[in-house]
Every structure is written in structure tokens, then in C-alpha cells.
Structure 1
Amino acid sequence: MSEEVKFWHLRNHQLFWVLNNSQVRQLCIITNYKRAKKGEMIDFGEHESSRIYLLKRGNLKIVQVDEEGNELIVDIIQKGELFGSLNFGQDNGSYEYAQVLTDSVVLCSFNTADFERLLAEHPTLAISYTKLIGFRLKRIKNNYSNLFFKNTKERLIAFLTDWANREGRFTGNQVCIDNFLTQKEISQIICSSRQTTTQLFNEWEQQGLISYSRKEIMIKNLKELA
């Protein structure tokens, strides 16, 4: 990827709006770009090799693995979002990795140590970074709250509503979502059985509330579903 393309990718991202053009061009020097295909796993690295990623195109899921080897999908990463070693090396007793959900993704990445120095040099960038991470943590916190206070049907509705608001194409109350998740993955996200998730989708289709396929989910009336 040319330096000019790198520059405009970074220049147009809201995280780096606080930097001037000269500072963004310097940033290009420590930035790496890569492409990954559907199903490919992305390890965040450890210690000196750890990295912070910025998703330029496509979608990923973040999977957390606890000490017993149990896996949980904790977040879906969309275009423009940050992920990776965001805690700067702090160990919380679990392991995380990303996996590509769409046909391909384009990733911009920084060595964690380089990015940490960058934040120290530019306090306004550190504030912008903190805000972006805060939004993601709030979303994850809401997901965990849903597990405790909502039943399976309510969790699925909350997930679809959030997905629609983030990526859906609206026509009035009707919304179309490009579907890159299997029903098994949706079940994992909302901590439900696949059978229950499938049953809910089938019921809503019979009621004329949604139209579900492997490629897209059409919600006929988001307010009525909610």
C-alpha cells in the first residue's frame, strides 16, 4: 500500500482528526497494513509483539478464552473500530483473539509500545482514544447487563436492534442488515442455544416480522419487533 493511501486512510479516521497533516504523515511510518480472509484468526500478540488494530474494511468477531478454555464472543468489530491489545499489556487472566467474519478485511496496525508513546506525545490524541475505547467498553458492558436482566428473546431483539442501528440500511421503520453471522454465532453472542435462536427467527418469519437468509436479515418494522 502506498504512503499516500496510508495517509488518507489515517487522515480520514476520527481518531486522528486532532493531528495535523505532518503528524499524520509521521504516523504512516509506524503503521502496518494487512489483508485477511474469512475465517482467518488474528492474534493480538504478547509483550513486545503486541499490537493495536484499526479495522479499515469488513467485520470481525472478538473471542475471549478463559483459563478453562471456554470461548465467548464478546464483541463484533465494524469498520473504523479499534481492537487488539487495548489494555497495554495488563493481564486480566483471559486470552482474546479476532476472527474474520466477512469475505476479507483490511487492517491497519500499530505496535503497542509505539502507540503508547504516540499517546504520550499528543495529549489530545489520548483524549480522543479514551473516548473511542469508552464507547466500546460501554457497548460490552450493556451486552453483559443484558445477560443478567433480559431473557433470550429480549437479548436477541436487543442484539438485532443494535446491529441494525450500527450497520443497517433503513427505509422508514424497515431495515436491511447484511448478514455475516451464522445462527450459531448469534447464539453464542447472546448466550443462547442455537435451537432457541432458530426457533425465534422462525416464529418471527411466520409472523411476518422479519425475513432471514444467510446473506441478509430484513426486519419489516424495527419498532414493532422491539
Structure 2
Amino acid sequence: MPQELSRALIKNLDFFKAMPDAALDAALKSAQVCRLADGDVAFHQGEAATQFFVLLHGHLKVVQITPEGEQVVVRYVNPGDVFGIARAMQRSHYPASTVAVQESIALAWPSSEWDQFISGNPLFAVNALQTVGQRLQDAHSRIRELSTEEVEQRVARAILRLTDESGEKTDEGILINFPITRQDIAEMTGTTLHTVSRLLSAWKERGLVNSGRKRIVVSDLNELIRLAEGAPTTKAAN
């Protein structure tokens, strides 16, 4: 990827907006282009955290294997996101694996350069701190949801988060604009594939969502919000 094109791509990302061109060029000298096909792994849980990344194109999912051997989808990585920042959390190994859900392109830097990025670019440091804080807050929210909310409410919240982060308006409604399966939703919400399939089928009959193979569209956002808030919907099942 030509350097000028790379500079143009990252210059508009929040993490890099305040950096002058000379600083961008200096940063890009040590960057490597990382191309991932659908299903490729950027790094595995437990590996030494030797790199950190910025996603330029595509989508990735962050998955973690629990001590009991269950797989959990922790979150999704969207274009512009920084990921693999174990160094920012004072960790020497990646706490989860990151897998491409579609063809994706990222830039990778050696983790040894993280401190230099932080010290030389105050806005980058602020954004990194906010990112770590947001991920901790999201983790706390998910723990609370698993402890206090019914499955239907958790699934509604998960789908709403995805539409908020990666929703695309279409004639059908708001499309989650990357491939996502019912199993992924189950692993995000601590439930089973059977339960998610049953809920999505019921919601489809009520006109709330439309789903197919690796595809989810929210047809009635307001009703899904009501479900996520624990309120009864105005659309009863037939």
C-alpha cells in the first residue's frame, strides 16, 4: 500500500487527526499492512502481545475462551478502531483472540512503540485512555446484564449495540453491515443458539427484525428499544 494512500486513510481517523503529516509519515515507517481473509486470526488468546493494530477496512470479532472452555464474543472491531492494545493495560499477552468476519485490512505496529506513540502524541494518548475506559465500562455493563436481565432483553441490547456501531439504513430497516450469525449473538449474550433462533423467529413474526444467513436487519427500532429496556412491546405475537 503506497505511503501517501496510507497517510490519507489514517489521517481522518480519530486517533490520528491531530498528528502533522511528518508525524504520520514517521509512524507509518514502522507500520506493516495486515490483510486478513474471512476467518483469519490477527492474534490468538495467550500469545505474546508483540503488536497493536488499527483497522482500516472490514470487521473483526474479539473472542475469548473461558476457563470452562466456552467461547464468548467480547466485541466487534470496526474501521478506525485500535485493537490489540494489551500494552495499554499493562499486559504482556493478548487476553483474547481477534478473528476477521470478512476480508479486512489493518495496520500493525510493534508493541514496543506504544509508549512512543503515547508520549509523542497527546491526542492519541487521550483517545487510547478513552478507549480503554470504554471497554472496561462495556465489560461491566455486560456483567450486570448477565446477572440481572432476562435473555430476551440481553439479546435486544446486543443487537441494538451492533446497529448503533455498524448499522446501515436500507429499505428493509437498519442492517448490521457485516456478516453475523445467530451463534455469534448467542456467544455475545451468554445463551444458546436455540434460544437466539427462537427469539429472532418470534421477532420476525412480530415485524421487529428480519434475519437470514449471517444477516440481521432491525425492522422496528423503537419496539426493539422497548424490549431492551425491559418494557413490553406494543406488537403482540400472533
TM-score, length basis structure 1: 0.88
Q: 2:232 matched to which residue of 1? A: none
> In 2, Cα distance between the equivalents of 1:94 and 1:52?
10
Q: Show the counterpart of 1:106.
A: 105
Alignment of 1:24-63 (within 5 A): 24-43=24-43, 45-46=47-48, 50-63=50-63
Provide the identity percentage. 19
> Which string of whole-angstrom CA distances, capped at 9 and with x for unpartnered residues, describes residues 37-63 of structure 1?
01111216515xx11111111111111
More deviation, 8-17/151-160: 8-17
- Relative distance call for 1:180 and 1:210 in structure 2 (3 A) is same
For 2:98 and 2:154, locate their aligned partners in 1 and report how far apart those are by CA, in whole Å: 23
Aligned-residue offset at 1:123: 3.0
How far apart in 1 are the matches of 2:93 and 2:66? 7
- C-alpha displacement of 1:201: 0.7
* Structure 2 counterparts to residues 1-150 of structure 1, below 5 A: 1-43=1-43, 45-46=47-48, 50-67=50-67, 69-88=69-88, 90-91=90-91, 95-102=95-102, 104-150=103-149
What residue in structure 1 maps to residue 154 of structure 2? 155
Change (3 A) 1:122 1:217: closer
TM-aligned CA deviation for residue 6 of structure 1: 1.6
| Structure 1 unaligned residues grouped into runs of 5+ | none
Question: Structure 1 residues 46, 89: closer, same or farther in 2, change over 3 A?
Answer: farther
Deviates more, 1:183-192 or 1:208-217: 208-217
How many residue pairs get aligned? The number is 223
Give yes or no for contact 2:101–2:178 (8 Å, CA) kept in 1: no
Once superposed, what is the RMSD of the aligned Cα atoms? 2.4
Q: What TM-score do you get using the length of structure 2 for normalisation?
A: 0.84
Counterpart code for 1:220: S
CA distance in 2, matches of 1:4, 1:138: 36
In the other structure, the counterpart of 2:168 is: 169
Report which of the two has the higher share of strand.
1
Retained in 2: the 8 A contact 1:46–1:89? no
Instruction: Return closer, same or farther for 1:196/1:92 CA change in 2, 3 Å cut-off.
Output: farther
Structure 1 residues 187 and 214: CA distance shift in structure 2, 3 A: same
